């Protein structure tokens, strides 16, 4: 309790230090939230741990993901022996160094055709491993610009229940009568309205496991371009799948692709790990999909379908997903290889629930994917 006392004595400075520690841990405790926190403390007893805890949790957090981080920082800040200023490095999420997984040899050596060459593969893996995207080569930047210029991932349009003024359609009583009143009650033109068309939500589920490592960087950039290319029109959600599910929509919101990818790199704990598609897909459906994120949406899975878990689980989850989503698109970079057959256990299990099965290995293939998402015939 003594630490709490010193913080109250220190007043605002202590609160601001706490907020800094929270921001370092990824909780969006901005200045206005801090102001609300101070106002809340003014109404409560800042000497009581419980009051300080709840005042902060209610005002500084903005989502369920924040709560666990908040608890951790709160414990470190108010209970730990460390002085507040030194808390910051301690609470920074420490990503365990990615251990190079021993992949089945054939999967890396079989890269050919339009896939990356061995050196490009190595460098891409290196970039992924360390997420040092600040130093981009000119070639990568050119490739990125090309992607950005080409891509606007628009969802398939659907009728929204919001109506807009239109030339033809049902009579719009509100505007008609307003017009009528404007003319002093004389019957005037009938104004009409029609349902607006809105693009469907696009949900990108990105496999970041070891077997997808050669494609992960390009696909992340694709996801970033997709999230920005039609900004404000198509709502886009991005998740990464690996051994666990991570929502990276917030990180992707950064305009600068390098900054966005760096943020994603910091947020995703399971780079180049194994794949448990079934489990992570279930986590997605439980936490997001079934609540509505996937409902009526175009869901795009970017994965090679290598599943380390139980294929039956993946099949069940894919059926769930297919029931929720408007359209399930699976983009598999390995589909382009000559003689490819969906023999990977996961892929074979998932395929019956997939509406469109496309390639995803090159820029051209991604363009094709964008067309499928837009509603073109995908089969």
Partner 1 sequence: MTWPAHGTPPGWTTPAGPSCGPLPVTSARAGAVGPHGPGAPSSGPATAPAASGIPAAAPAAGAAAGIAGPGQMRARLEETGYLVDDGLAVACYLALTLHRPIFCEGDAGVGKTALAHALAEALGAPLIRLQCYEGIDASQALYDWDFPRQLLHLRAAEAAGVSDPGTLEGELYSRRFLLARPLLRALETSPSVLLVDEVDRADDEFEAFLLELLSEYSVTVPELGTLRAQSPPVVVLTSNRTREVHDALKRRCLYHWFEHPGFERELAIVRRRQPHVAARLASQVTAVVQCLREQDLVRPPGVAETIDWAEALAALGATELDADLAMTTLGSVLKYREDAERARSLDLSEILATRAGGSR
Q: How far is the CB of 240 from partner 1 (least distance, A)?
A: 16
Tokens of 94: 């420490």
Q: Is 35 in the site for partner 1 (CB under 8 A)?
A: yes
Contact 192, 166 (CB under 8 A): yes
Distance CA 15, CA 229 (A): 39
Angle CA(35)–CA(38)–CA(40) in degrees, nearest 5?
A: 110
CA–CA separation, 278 and 243 (whole Å): 10
Q: What is the spatial distance between Cα 366 and Cα 363, in angstroms, rounded to a whole number?
A: 5
Nearer to partner 1, 262 or 316 (CB): 316
List the one residue from 90, 152, 266, 290 that touches partner 1 (CB under 8 A).
Answer: 290
Q: How far is CA 68 from CA 22, 57, 91, 134, 227, in A?
A: 11, 10, 12, 29, 27
The nearest distance, CB 47 to partner 1, in angstroms, is: 13
Closest separation between CB of residue 182 and partner 1, Å? Answer: 11
Of the pair 96, 232, the CB lying nearest partner 1 is at 232
Q: Does 291 bind partner 1 (CB under 8 A)?
A: yes
Nearest by Cα to 261 from 211, 217, 302 = 217
Q: Give the nearest distance from C-beta 298 to partner 1 in angstroms.
A: 15
Q: Which phi and psi (to 5°) does residue 164 adopt?
A: -120, 150
Q: Are 242 and 273 in contact (CB under 8 A)?
A: yes
Residue 51 or 355 having the CB closest to partner 1: 51
Token code pair at residue 159: 């009728």
User: Which residue, 253, 257, 243, is CA-closest to 207?
Assistant: 243
Q: Is residue 201 near partner 1 by the rule CB under 8 A? A: yes
User: For 225, what's the count of Cα atoms within 13 Å in the CB-facing half-sphere?
Assistant: 21
Taking the complex as a whole, how short is the minimal distance between the CB of residue 36 and partner 1, in angstroms? 7
Distance (Å, whole) CA 72 – CA 41: 20
Q: At closest approach, how far in Å is the CB of 297 from partner 1?
A: 10
Q: Tell me if 320 contacts partner 1 by CB under 8 A.
A: yes
Interface positions, 55-94, toward partner 1 (CB under 8 A): 55, 57-59, 61-64, 67
In eight-state DSSP terms, residue 292 is I
Q: Of the candidates 97, 105, 112, 185, which one interacts with partner 1 according to CB under 8 A? A: 185
Instruction: Select from 9, 13, 44, 142 the one that contacts partner 1 (CB under 8 A).
Output: 44
Which of the ranges 43-51, 123-131, 132-140, 358-366 carries the binding residues for partner 1, by CB under 8 A?
43-51
Closest distance of CB 218 from partner 1, Å: 26
286, 312, 364, 367: residue in contact with partner 1 (rule CB under 8 A): 286
Interacting residue ranges for partner 1, rule: CB under 8 A: 28, 30-33, 35-36, 38-40, 43-45, 50-51, 54-55, 57-59, 61-64, 67, 160-163, 173-174, 177-178, 180-181, 184-185, 201, 235, 249, 286, 288, 290-293, 295, 316, 320
């Amino acid at each position: 309790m003594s630490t709490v006392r010193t913080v109250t004595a220190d007043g605002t400075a202590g609160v601001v230090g706490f907020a800094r520690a929270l921001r370092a841990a990824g909780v969006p405790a901005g200045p206005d939230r801090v102001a609300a926190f101070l106002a809340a403390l003014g109404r409560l007893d800042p000497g009581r741990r419980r009051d300080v805890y709840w005042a902060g949790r209610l005002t500084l957090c903005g989502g369920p993901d924040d709560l666990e981080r908040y608890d951790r920082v709160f414990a470190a800040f108010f209970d730990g022996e460390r002085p507040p200023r030194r808390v910051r490095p301690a609470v920074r999420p420490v990503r365990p160094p990615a251990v190079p997984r021993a992949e089945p040899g054939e999967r890396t050596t079989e890269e050919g055709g339009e896939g990356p060459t061995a050196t490009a593969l190595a460098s891409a893996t290196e970039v992924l491993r360390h997420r040092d995207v600040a130093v981009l080569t000119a070639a990568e930047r050119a490739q990125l610009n090309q992607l950005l210029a080409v891509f606007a991932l628009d969802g398939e349009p659907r009728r929204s229940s919001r109506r807009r003024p239109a030339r033809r359609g049902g009579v719009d009583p509100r505007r008609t009568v307003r017009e009528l009143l404007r003319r002093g009650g004389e019957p005037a033109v009938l104004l009409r309205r029609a349902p607006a068309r809105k693009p469907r939500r696009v949900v990108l589920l990105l496999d970041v496991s070891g077997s997808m490592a050669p494609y992960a960087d390009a696909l992340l950039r694709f996801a970033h371009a997709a999230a920005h290319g039609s900004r404000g029109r198509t709502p886009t959600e991005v998740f990464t799948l690996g051994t666990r599910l991570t929502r990276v929509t917030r990180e992707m919101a950064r305009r600068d692709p390098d900054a966005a990818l760096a943020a994603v790199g910091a947020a995703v704990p399971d780079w180049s790990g194994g794949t448990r598609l079934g489990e992570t897909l279930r986590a997605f459906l439980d936490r997001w999909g079934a609540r509505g994120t996937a409902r009526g949406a175009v869901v795009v899975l970017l994965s090679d379908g290598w599943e380390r878990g139980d294929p039956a689980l993946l099949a069940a989850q894919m059926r769930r997903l297919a029931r929720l989503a408007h359209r399930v698109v699976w983009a598999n970079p390995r589909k382009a290889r000559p003689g490819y057959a969906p023999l990977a256990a996961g892929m074979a299990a998932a395929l019956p629930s997939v509406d469109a099965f496309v390639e995803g290995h090159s820029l051209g293939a991604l363009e094709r994917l964008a067309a499928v998402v837009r509603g073109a015939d995908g089969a």
